[in-house]
Amino acid sequence: MGRLFGTDGVRGLANDSLSPELALQVSAAAAQVLSRGKKRALAVVGRDPRASGEMLEAAVTAGLTSAGVNVLSVGVLPTPAVAYLTGVYDACLGVMISASHNPMPDNGIKIFAAGGHKLDDAVEDRIEALIADGGFARPTGAGIGRILGHPGLGGHTFDADDHYSLEGTHERYVEHLVEATGRDLSGLTVVLDCAHGAASEVGPAALREAGATVIAINADPDGLNINDGCGSTHLDQIRRAVLEHDADLGLALDGDADRCLAVDATGAVVDGDAIMAVIALAMRDSGELAENTLVATVMSNLGLHIALRDAGITVRTTAVGDRYVLEELRRSGLTLGGEQSGHVVFPKYGTTGDGVLTGLKLMARMAESGRTLADLAAIVQTVPQVLVNVPVSDKAAVAAAPSVRDAVADAERLLGDTGRVLLRPSGTEQLVRVMVEATDPDRAQRLADDLAKLVAAV
């Protein structure tokens, strides 16, 4: 069996590579690993609205309860909400059923440990080993887990020993977001593209509760239309809507609302790098930016580094993937990190990227400063970037080749502080990605082409 866990949980074509049988196995094994030694263990389970989520939620719930874990099903909510509620309810684990920005036929299982934290590699390996072994004991009789829910909805009702309540879980998350915003957003008009996804209800509710005037689009999920030509991966609709409604900005979420991209009042896209820069400056000014440091991945544009360096802010880089950003934030006690794709993490308020909170924080800076988003985002001047995907037979051989290392070093010396070079093996394909950024776009293209030819020849 190949490795089940990818960069963000277990993902695949629903009812094919991601079958109900696999969902049951993964959740049962995760429950065994993460609830060990805990009496009356609890798991929080949520999902996005794609149709296969109903099937997979049933399988996940069966797996968890078969391992003796009680299940608190919170329904359709964003990934960061499930992570947050996992901590609020002192659950041993949380499970989010979502394939994020992927098309509707795909789905995924994201697992959170106690406190709502993403799993590290070692824990994922233990879960996979348990699945491969298949020999763990399951309880019977009164030891089987129960489904905790509202009276009359088929779930186990609450008694004096239960300390959980489904009442107001959605509202509790909205209140959490608004409290974290810290500023009245009255006077700002925003278009929110919900991608027909998990934040279709709580996203507009949180923005309105914070005082903003909200025009919600693509907020009518039917199980089949999630991410379909909308949301953070398809920005044409929101750009048109911002202009049509003369809005101050637009915010585009993905299917599980853990990422956010923005559009200014002119319809120009504001990517994750610019969003992080705006929020980093706001947190620096308020004294909330620990060590005056932002954590970003190696894929963030050089323009972000230059802008924040000039503002006295350090950018600390990690490997690609929000899990690595999270690990560095936790390890170093830092307070802001994220990715160019729009995952932004505020450790004070959550353990994973939160698209709605990111939008609220961006609008709070607009409200506090009285400046437009275009003006605020102009601090980041994107440096031209060339990316070449090179098919290879052996990614490890490319990384080890002295000729490649020497060529990269030569290119870096040539660019100095006017550019950078990054060679990154693909995590899913036999490709090496050659990226060159330079203030001179022609030089960037020449260097990228030369390095790509060298990589292909290894």
pLDDT digits (tens, 9 = 90+) for 7-16: 789 999 999 9
Q: Report which of residues 450 and 430 the model is more confident about.
A: 450
The predicted-structure confidence for 278-308, as pLDDT tens digits, reads as follows 999 999 999 999 999 999 999 999 999 999 9
User: Is the distance from CB of 255 to CB of 198 less than 8 angstroms?
Assistant: yes
**CB distance 219 to 72 below 8 Å:** no
Q: What is the pLDDT of residue 427?
A: 65
Terminal CA-CA length for the chain: 30
Model confidence pLDDT, tens digit, residues 301-343: 999 999 999 999 999 999 888 889 999 999 999 999 999 999 9
Nearest Cα neighbor of 278 from 268, 289, 267 is 289
pLDDT grade for 198, boundaries at 50, 70 and 90: very high
Whose CA is closest to 204, among 263, 253, 146? 253
Residue 309 corresponds to which tokens in the numbers above? 């360096």
What pLDDT was estimated at residue 148?
A: 85
pLDDT over 60 at 418, yes or no = yes
Residue 256 labelled as part of a binding site: yes
For residues 380-400, give the mean pLDDT: 91
- Our CA dihedral for 341, 353, 281, 369, rounded to 10 degrees, sits at 100
Residue 161 confidence (pLDDT) above 50: no
Instruction: Provide the 8-state DSSP code for 298.
Output: T
Catalytic residues: 100
pLDDT of amino acid 37: 66
For the chain, what percent of residues have pLDDT higher than 90?
84
Q: How far lies 47's CA from each of 39, 165, 200, in Å?
A: 26, 18, 13
- The tally of CA atoms less than 13 A away on the side-chain side of residue 390 is 27
Which pLDDT value is given to residue 137?
Answer: 83
DSSP string, 224-242: S-TTSS-GGG--HHHHHHH
Q: What is the pLDDT of residue 156?
A: 43
Confidence at 169, pLDDT banded by 50, 70, 90: confident
CATH superfamily, domain at 171-377: Alpha-D-Glucose-1,6-Bisphosphate, subunit A, domain 3 (3.40.120.10)
**Is residue 47 within 8 Å of residue 121, measured between CB atoms?**
no
DSSP 138: -
Q: What's the topology of domain 10-167?
A: Alpha-D-Glucose-1,6-Bisphosphate; Chain A, domain 3 (3.40.120)
1 pLDDT more than 90? no
The band of 2, judged by pLDDT with boundaries at 50, 70 and 90, is: low
> Using 50, 70 and 90 to split pLDDT, how confident is the model at 226?
very high
User: Given this chain, do its domains 10-167 and 171-377 carry the same CATH topology?
Assistant: yes
Residue-level pLDDT at 321 = 83
Q: What is the mean pLDDT of residues 173-193?
A: 96
100 labeled part of a ligand binding site = yes
- The pLDDT-based confidence of 238 (bands split at 50, 70, 90) is very high
Whether residue 190 is predicted with pLDDT greater than 90 in this model: the reply is yes
Which tokens go with 192?
A: 């929110």
Residue 159 is predicted with a pLDDT of: 43
Query: Which pLDDT band holds residue 231 (cuts at 50, 70, 90)?
Result: very high
Calculate the CA 2 to chain-centre distance. Answer: 24
Choosing among 2.60.120.10, 3.20.20.70, 3.30.310.50, 3.20.20.80, the CATH entry for 385-457 is 3.30.310.50
Q: What pLDDT sits at residue 185?
A: 98
Mean pLDDT, residues 161-183 taken together: 78
Whether pLDDT at 415 is above 70: yes
In the structure, what pLDDT confidence band is assigned to residue 36 with cuts at 50, 70 and 90?
Answer: confident
Q: β-pairing, 385-391 with 431-438?
A: antiparallel
Torsion of CA 47, 50, 56, 60, to 10 degrees: 0
Per-residue pLDDT, 162: 45
- Tell whether pTM > 0.85: yes
Spatial distance between the Cα atoms of 206 and 176, rounded to a whole number of angstroms: 9
The more confidently predicted of residues 405 and 149 is: 405
Who's near 3: CB < 8 A, 6+ residues apart? 128
- CB proximity list for 416: less than 8 A, separation 6 or greater: none
Tens digit of pLDDT for each residue in 120-144?
Answer: 889 999 999 999 987 778 999 999 9
For residue 46, pLDDT over 70 is answered with yes
User: Distance between CA 418 and CA 382 in Å, rounded?
Assistant: 12
Is the pLDDT reported for residue 150 higher than 80? no
> For 186-207, what is the mean pLDDT?
98
Report the mean per-residue pLDDT for the chain: 92
Any idea where the domains of the chain sit in the sequence? 10-167, 171-377, 385-457
Give the pLDDT band (50/70/90) at residue 379: very high
What is the arithmetic mean of pLDDT over 410-433? 87
The answer to the question of whether 406 is labelled as a binding residue is no
